[in-house]
Amino acid sequence: MSGTVRTPLREQPYFKPLLGVISIVLGLAVWFAAVSWGGIPDYVLPQPVAVFHALIDGLSGSPFDRVSFWYHWIDTTETTLLGFLIGAVMGVGLAAIMAESVVFQSIVFPYVVILQSLPKIAIAPLFVIWFGYHIESKVAMATTLALFPILLNSLQGFTTTDRDRVEVMTALKATRWQIFRYVKLPSALPLIFAGLGLGIVYAQLGALVAEFVGAQTGMGVLITQLQSVTDTAGVFAVLVVLAATGYVLITMMRLLQQRVVFWERGSRRGVDG
Amino acid sequence: MTGDDALLRVIDLTKQYAVRRGTPVQALPGLSMDLADGEFVCMVGPSGCGKTTLLKILAGIVTPTSGELRYRGQAITGAQQSMGVVFQAPVLMPWLTILENVLLPAKVLGLERRAAQASAMELLALVGLQNFEAKYPFELSGGMQQRAAIVRSLIHDPAILLMDEPFGALDALTRERMNVELQRIWMARRKTVFLITHSIPEAVFLADRVIVMSPRPGRILREFAIPFPRPRDIELTGTTEFGDYTRAIRALLDAQGDIG
């Protein structure tokens, strides 16, 4: 009798990635067929090949050339990262102070609720009035969108510290600062990082919205320009670049999270702001 | 004991918790007891009799409503460096290594680092955790984590060790082993230990004196002096003499009715 048992296909390690690849290839084929024989016009849905060409064209330009993707990509990415950083510092900082001071929390909370209830994208035109058509208004929008998920998740993290951990410190006569520094802050890190992971996605969203509303450079501006000349393939190409950028940003945050919050198995999902 | 020679005197300690409606909950109705220097005292009683509240007051975590605590004749309030606390769960910080965890009290209390580190290594060896100092808590079993927690409670060399069901979360075999181990640590370090437990055999095995509590509101029903010589072997728990004590305590508790 042979002792080998065949592993079912479903449990092979390559099963899931293989299905993923097949799914993408099939999707492209359906897309190609729809455009070639389905009677869908080019300006609605361009050929996959046309998108590919637009992508190569856009990416092969010099970063100093206004028609190059890089020219706009650098601007949008810079805005995203700046907005994220400011949002992170403000969000974690405010959450820490709110968690430690009931008075401060009571004063700030009404504003948090109001701003949170507001569809924040609606503020974008106001930022253009306040900060003009330059990077300042874009960063302001990116910061505004990044701030809330970071603030709310961090606040949750700071205020839900395991009581036993605090009691260990209390029994040692620890000062408030020591309790914060040695217990509350590290305890909050898993939730802070859940917030940061959402924050970076929202920062990118904020940058793009600001660019739609009023700016001179950026991927959002590029999309509007391409749209005005019905260069649908070009719009698709920009979307591909944005998706790739988003993927890289999210992956970087996840790797950072796994490094810093190494004791948490399986990353937590954040509360959406 | 007259009281003046007591290491720790607890005088008429009460604790009431305010509730939203109705009369406040009486968690502790006025309890007095003494701990002598080097004594091992165990407290047994049903759930909700206030023994955890008592321990948290002694540890300075909970403020009593009234009553007094005296350490070596001096009135004390709040947390004291002379106390070390072990909780039911190990409560180690998962982001710190075992060594960093046991050194946390030294850091908080501002003790000299090198001396603390040396004593940490010595204590870790005492509880059989040498070579585990660089591991993280999640890499250790529950019993090993609790041993690390005991080391943490001893690192600042407190005179009194307060333990709230320290082995309650462990399986029966590990628990027995930890009891023998704790006796060994106690004999090596000669701390005064106040240990709360649900387990009557654990109390009789470990204690010089067992304090038996009534159900809520918890009062001291009776105290049993346990005369067995040390070091006590786990075989002791199978003897008739040992059984006499556990049976007497159980009968006393059973007579109170409801055991939580």
The answer on pLDDT for A33 being more than 70 is yes
Grade residue A266 by pLDDT with cuts at 50, 70 and 90. very low
Q: Which amino acid is at A220?
A: G
Closest chain B residue to A161, measured at CA:
B93
Query: Is the Cβ of B255 closer than 8 Å to some Cβ of chain A?
Result: no
Cα B76 versus chain centre, distance: 19
Cβ-based burial of B25 (10 A; exposed 0-12, middle 13-18, buried ≥19): middle
**Closest Cα of chain B to A83: distance in Å?**
29
The answer on pLDDT for B229 being more than 70 is yes
Query: Is the Cβ of B56 closer than 8 Å to some Cβ of chain A?
Result: yes
Say if the Cβ atoms of B107 and A182 lie within 8 Å.
yes
- pLDDT computed for residue B3 by the predictor: 47
CA-to-CA distance for B40 and B225, rounded, in angstroms? 11
pTM of the model: 0.86
The answer on pLDDT for A218 being more than 90 is yes
Nearest to A112 by CA among A156, A79, A82: A156
Structural domain boundaries in chain A = 57-260
Grade residue A233 by pLDDT with cuts at 50, 70 and 90. very high
- pLDDT computed for residue B25 by the predictor: 83
The answer on pLDDT for B259 being more than 90 is no
CA-to-CA distance for B178 and B172, rounded, in angstroms? 10
- pLDDT computed for residue B218 by the predictor: 82
Beta-bridge mates of residue B108: none
Q: What is the dihedral of CA B226, B230, B231, B233, to 10 degrees?
A: -50
Closest chain A residue to B139, measured at CA:
A263
The answer on pLDDT for A172 being more than 70 is yes
Residues above pLDDT 90, as percent of chain B = 72
Query: Is the Cβ of A185 closer than 8 Å to some Cβ of chain B?
Result: no
> How high is the mean pLDDT of chain B?
91
**Closest Cα of chain B to A179: distance in Å?**
9
- pLDDT computed for residue A2 by the predictor: 53
Instruction: Give yes or no for a cis peptide into A63 (omega within 30° of 0).
Output: no
Segment A149-163 mean pLDDT? 95
The answer on pLDDT for A132 being more than 60 is yes
Segment A46-60 mean pLDDT? 92
pLDDT digits (tens, 9 = 90+) for A74-106: 999 999 999 999 999 999 999 999 999 999 999
Segment A160-171 mean pLDDT? 94
- pLDDT computed for residue B160 by the predictor: 95
Closest chain B residue to A175, measured at CA:
B108
Chain B positions in Cβ-Cβ contact with residue A182 (cut-off 8 Å): 93, 104, 107-108
CA-to-CA distance for A249 and A181, rounded, in angstroms? 28
CA-to-CA distance for A191 and A269, rounded, in angstroms? 8
Say if the Cβ atoms of B93 and A186 lie within 8 Å.
yes
pLDDT digits (tens, 9 = 90+) for B45-94: 888 888 899 999 999 999 999 999 999 989 999 899 999 999 999 999 99
CATH architecture of A57-260: Orthogonal Bundle (1.10)
Grade residue B4 by pLDDT with cuts at 50, 70 and 90. low
Non-local (6+) Cβ contacts of A18 within 8 A are none
> How high is the mean pLDDT of chain A?
91
Nearest to B79 among A170, A182, A186 (CB): A170
pLDDT digits (tens, 9 = 90+) for B130-171: 999 999 999 999 889 999 999 999 999 999 999 999 998 888
Say if the Cβ atoms of B108 and A183 lie within 8 Å.
no
Chain B positions in Cβ-Cβ contact with residue A162 (cut-off 8 Å): 91
Cβ-based burial of A8 (10 A; exposed 0-12, middle 13-18, buried ≥19): exposed
Query: Is the Cβ of A259 closer than 8 Å to some Cβ of chain B?
Result: no
DSSP label of A3: -
- pLDDT computed for residue A144 by the predictor: 95
- pLDDT computed for residue A246 by the predictor: 95
Segment A10-28 mean pLDDT? 90
Q: What is the dihedral of CA A88, A90, A96, A102, to 10 degrees?
A: -140
Nearest to A221 by CA among A207, A202, A240, A237: A207
Grade residue A253 by pLDDT with cuts at 50, 70 and 90. very high
**Closest Cα of chain B to A199: distance in Å?**
24
Nearest to B95 among A162, A172, A263 (CB): A263
